[in-house]
Amino acid sequence: MVRHLNVKTKSRNEFVDITDIVQEAVKDAGVTKGICFLYVPHTTAGITINEGADPSVQRDIMNALSRLVPHEMNYSHREGNADAHIKSTLVGNSVNVVIDEGKLVLGTWQAIFFCEFDGPRHRRIAVKFL
């Protein structure tokens, strides 16, 4: 069974820490051991696991992506969000997290981030437990 998590973003480019809502989904599903597969079914958003303790890390990643793939360039895609498509491809659209004793197995500083590149929007994340 596939579950869905809803995320509402507030700006065009944003990292949203979804670790707590994913952990709540694990608890609600009663999963104690396995894999949590998270998939973002959007072409202008992504998902990643990285440091969650220091918000400057997310700002640094977003700034680096913006330097690599600026919003304003001579892109062929005329909807005005070509950069968001490229950033989504670079970050990726899925992650897997081990579950043990009912908890996500993450490193001390790790968090799961939904990555918005074309917001603000209402988004969904598909969750499957294996």
Q: Which CATH class is domain 2-129?
A: mainly beta
Q: Do the Cβ atoms of 130 and 12 come closer than 8 Å?
A: no
| Cβ count within 10 A of residue 26 | 19
Q: List alpha helices for 75-130, DSSP H.
A: 82-91
Extract the tokens encoding 51.
């440091």
Residue 128: what pLDDT?
A: 98
Q: In this predicted model, what pLDDT tens digit does every residue of 3-35 receive, in sequence order?
A: 999 999 999 999 999 999 999 999 999 999 999
pLDDT at 13: 97
Q: Rounded distance, CA 107 to CA 105, Å?
A: 7
pTM of the shown model: 0.96
Q: What is the pLDDT of residues 28-80, one digit of tens each?
A: 999 999 999 999 999 999 999 999 999 999 999 999 999 999 999 999 998 99
Q: Domain ranges for the chain, please list them.
A: 2-129
DSSP state of 64: H
